[in-house]
Structure 1
């Protein structure tokens, strides 16, 4: 779909305080749930002509594909547009499901009906997310390196804790401080781990078209998280990621097939101590030249917007990271007044 947005400029989109009433309209399939893919499109693209630029919005059903699959598609689309040819350098997607052989029988039949799924209560964005604000925090490469060095030094290691893990820990602590939780409040951090390199007996190709991720949780007590330093917080994330073995990943998938569960409603406003990170700084986002030049920025649509959602993107400068934070306005303001947090922000 192609449309024009009169009066909207690139500068409006680049505003660190994201104008959701503008950006959300640049995407289609807003408020469409994954389970509605049985009757609604699985993929939708919308190209919007701004006053002084172009915005390309793409929506994809998360049951069909994960971030790796999404950006493989987007990278291929950009190459076709740029070159004007179907002879592309991007590797072809892999549709095979042979790696599931002997593990589960396809297709998986859910033990509840479509009517039962849609009958579950849903908190719409209009009823809760209207109170939220989105802002982009930019972290330069050199400041991320300092976070990594600090976390490893505190734990007496050299490089066990990665840059991303140290960065996630920095955000976890900052949001916990900003929320002014009770000292004994349990804080939960949920993030996705990719399974392509963890699958056995053979790894999945990165071009595998599907969803190959698993969500994991790290929990701590608020006072414990804030008193033990960056290194301790990062080490908790590191341990959780390191503990996911190929055997555990296969067992989790097999258990889910035996006992199906639905992800709980993460929009629930009573989950005050929840944090959720999606996407990855390793995706090729800034290289998507459709023939109009390199992109200036990336923004996400209305899907999965909730208090505590942190979306990670690579920054425009190599090695930098942009965090699109969706939080209560008072939480964001407190974080921006937090010298310890802002020391790592550009």
Structure 2
């Protein structure tokens, strides 16, 4: 594991609250929350941010950063005209005639506005991007760290933090998850970026949000949850925090190129004699198999793969991506460890494909109906990952993340805060080069992550790009982890093979080992694969 970035703390320079440029008539009305919204009460805020290189002009004239901040604030105030719930706050009322039930809604009139923070940190882009693991300091790039959605009764529903680095700028966004899902989160950021680009010349946006809510037939718009007072929510949340035990979790981003994803998809489909398995289903199957392999559970132990699925396209009629709300469904796929590992990539991918295909409008509405009659308030990702054999997949490779420029050019990285992370959490994002490339942010216990990094099946797929484990520097790290004598001969290997080599991971390692043993027979008895590498895969 790479050493953590030892860094100074973030220095907070200023903060303010941004309200909509002007008030729309519809923003005077309360917004009542749907079952999908209310199920998020104890989930953390969503936290995603964009990392940019600092333009050279910013180093010579401090006025440039001040001008950027003013433009961000002005365009944010215009964006909030459209996304006015984000400037509001959560409020509660007692359901008449039902003393033990509480109603939560969005009060768009009394909120503080969006919190806007300017901060700085004496670190470089390389300090953030080069470590193998995501540095802990990234968590300080986001406001509302550790806040759950119900905290929106006293905290802003949206917080923006602009952190200056020595040679970069990070724009971090924290948004209350009861207000919208990931689709809504990126809809807001895309629209804010669009308004920023227009430089105040137009307030119209290409995709105005809508605020329809999905309620079961005969229910809504007022849905209650089983708490008597608002203080009971805080007490319940605090009890959960006291029960939580800290884990030694490593967080790392793995990159999968378009070529690697295409090969993985083709392999999964070929094993099942079909063409129906998608790229993400094939990649998810790989993750499920490889992580389960190194958790070392008994063969007949059940293992779950939970997909946080969007209901939008599955409902009849479908719900537009412009609808600012939550439309998520936790879809659980289960098998045993021996079936998962013995059945091959195609077997696992087909299980996932069948589960997704069978999740129809009927199934989605059935879950929403059942929630109204028996509300279930998830306590974060930990509650969705019901046991240590489980994996939870969220995010999407289709979100427009790299199109948000804010006058700084294309982002060079996407990072997230500490929210909703635990052992077994996997978040998918689009790769920076576009196409079918994907980035996977994986959180695992330290010993499992170390084994995963030595898994040939997994790392072969993740090694086809400079953004993954490819490149001479990362090859060196891989070799030093997995060969006892690598440091003795790496200089020769780097010059002879790794620098000019463009072949695939497997052939490179095979060729390298063959030459190493033949040219350096004295080293052969020292070169032993460390635990975790399966050369037969």
TM-score grouping bracket, smaller chain normalisation = over 0.9
Deviation at 1:199, TM superposition (A): 1.4
Q: Which residue of 2 aligns with 1:344?
A: 461
Q: Name the Cα RMSD after superposition.
A: 2.0
Work out whether residues 134 and 253 of structure 2, in 8 Å CA contact, stay in contact via their aligned partners in 1: no
Q: Which residue of 1 aligns with 2:158?
A: 43
Q: Which residue of 1 aligns with 2:388?
A: 272
In the alignment, is residue 327 of structure 1 matched against residue 447 of structure 2? no
Specify the SS of the correspondent of 1:215: strand
Deviation at 1:221, TM superposition (A): 0.8
Query: Aligned to 1:11, which of 122, 126, 130?
Result: 126
| Number of residue-to-residue matches in the alignment | 342
Work out whether residues 165 and 234 of structure 1, in 8 Å CA contact, stay in contact via their aligned partners in 2: yes
Q: Which deviations, in whole Å up to 9, do the C-alpha atoms of 1:283-309 show, x marking residues without a partner?
A: 001111111000001011110110011
The 3 A distance-change label for structure 1 pair 335 and 101 is closer
In the alignment, is residue 185 of structure 1 matched against residue 301 of structure 2? yes
Query: Aligned to 2:412, which of 287, 296, 304?
Result: 296
Q: Which residue of 2 aligns with 1:73?
A: 188
Paired residues for 1:203-222 under 5 Å: 203-222=318-337
Query: Aligned to 2:137, which of 12, 22, 28?
Result: 22
Q: Which residue of 2 aligns with 1:132?
A: 249
Q: Which residue of 2 aligns with 1:151?
A: 268
Deviation at 1:127, TM superposition (A): 4.3
Deviation at 1:206, TM superposition (A): 1.1
Work out whether residues 76 and 88 of structure 1, in 8 Å CA contact, stay in contact via their aligned partners in 2: no
In the alignment, is residue 254 of structure 1 matched against residue 372 of structure 2? no
Work out whether residues 125 and 305 of structure 1, in 8 Å CA contact, stay in contact via their aligned partners in 2: no
Q: Which deviations, in whole Å up to 9, do the C-alpha atoms of 1:175-203 show, x marking residues without a partner?
A: 10121122122111111111111112x21
Work out whether residues 172 and 275 of structure 1, in 8 Å CA contact, stay in contact via their aligned partners in 2: yes
Work out whether residues 28 and 44 of structure 1, in 8 Å CA contact, stay in contact via their aligned partners in 2: yes
Q: Please, what TM-score do these two structures have when normalized by structure 2?
A: 0.61
Work out whether residues 381 and 421 of structure 2, in 8 Å CA contact, stay in contact via their aligned partners in 1: no
Cα distance in 2 for residues equivalent to 1:277 and 1:103:
33
Work out whether residues 121 and 163 of structure 2, in 8 Å CA contact, stay in contact via their aligned partners in 1: no
Q: Which residue of 2 aligns with 1:111?
A: 226
Which stretches in structure 2 are left out of the alignment for 5+ residues? 1-115, 464-537
Deviation at 1:8, TM superposition (A): 1.3
Work out whether residues 128 and 135 of structure 2, in 8 Å CA contact, stay in contact via their aligned partners in 1: no
Deviation at 1:95, TM superposition (A): 1.2
Q: Which residue of 2 aligns with 1:171?
A: 287
Deviation at 1:276, TM superposition (A): 0.7
Q: After superposing the two structures, state which structure 1 stretch, 43-52 or 268-277, moved more.
A: 268-277
Query: Aligned to 1:306, which of 412, 419, 422?
Result: 422
Q: Which residue of 2 aligns with 1:2?
A: 117
